[in-house]
Amino acid sequence: MPVVIVSDFARSFGTEDEDISPECRKLIAEKDFSYVVLVGKERDNLLLQILKRIETDKQIIGAKKRQDIWHDGWAENLEDFIKSGYDLKALVPKFIRSAQVIRYNQDYIKSANQNFELDYLTVFRTWLFQKYFQEVESVYEFGCGTGFNMVALAEIYPQKALYGLDFVKSSCDLVNRIAEAYKLNLKGRVFDMINPDENFKIANNSAVFTIGAIEQLASKFEAFLQYLLKQSPKLCVHVEPTIELYDESNLVDYLAIRFQGKRGYTHNFLPRLKELEKEKKIEILKIKRLYFGSLYMEGYNLMIWRPVK
């Protein structure tokens, strides 16, 4: 039975084995990353399930009613967080599903570990935060949702000033409740990425990041990009589904292209970053497809850039 080992994680992240920190290695050793690749009838049945889902799916990203859905979703997480006695497990977003088939290396896999996706993301996020946020004084997450990522960041860097921003108030209420409960240097604030508040200033020597937030803008990202260019943070990190990185000649990739296109997830963000680099307005530091994702698409591709001053 194959197992994802340190060198596999390094390859996925686009780095060398020695760049995987002791903390990440400990996580890899503690979690079960064994899996089997789906083949034969089992794979055929899954492909049929995915095709039927694409045909019948009616969710439209960026639709007005989605704001109410997000508000209610984060409010539910807030209620669960309080009821659980402030258990951080209540912050895991519900779109990270357990016991689900996973995309890995352009194929479908399953594992006895029901939290395979969450555990893989935890390793990746730990590596990412340690690698790129060490030198900055402040970090801003736009589209912070439950504050799930900010808590992980605060555990690594308790002294840094952290800001969780989201376009619905229930998210910010949740973030501020977390900060109060755990005495974190963290503040939640309402911020609409489609209509950025130019009066909200990003501090000097800061980094900004998004994880699965640009995807929800339905390609209306230009105002946010211009806001970042004006604010000129030291570093911009995006972990997002990126339709341009798929291979249309691969069936698994092609189904993800169909799914993302049907729903209207953001596209052309990466090509726009490349345009800005040609215009010498930004410098792209890294583009990496992780070849890892959930059942219907890969949501964890990495894009890192910085404004050119």
Closest CA to 256 of 221, 301, 189: 301
Assign 78 a pLDDT band (cuts: 50, 70, 90): confident
> Which tens digit of pLDDT belongs to each residue from 11-26?
999 999 999 999 999 9
- Which structural domains are found in the chain, ordered by start? 132-143+191-307 (3.40.50)
Mean pLDDT rounded to a whole number for the chain: 96
Residues in Cβ contact with 61 at an 8 Å cutoff, skipping those fewer than 6 apart:
215, 216, 218, 263, 264, 265, 266
> Which tens digit of pLDDT belongs to each residue from 206-260?
999 999 999 999 999 999 999 999 999 999 999 999 999 999 999 999 999 999 9
193, 217 in Cβ contact below 8 A?
yes
Is the pLDDT at 29 greater than 70? The verdict is yes
Q: How far apart are CA 116 and CA 110, in angstroms?
A: 9
Is the pLDDT at 65 greater than 70? The verdict is no
- The pLDDT assigned to 61 comes to 82
pTM greater than 0.85 (yes/no): yes
- Return the beta strands (E) in the chain as ranges: 36-37, 102-104, 108-110, 138-142, 161-166, 186-190, 206-211, 235-240, 282-288, 292-293, 301-307
Q: How far apart are CA 196 and CA 95, in angstroms?
A: 26
Is the pLDDT at 169 greater than 80? The verdict is yes
Closest CA to 289 of 274, 297, 300, 275: 300
Average the pLDDT over 62-82 and give the result: 81
Between 22-30 and 116-132, two packed helices, what is the crossing angle to 10 degrees? 180
The token pair that represents 74 in the structure block? 């984060």
Average the pLDDT over 3-12 and give the result: 98
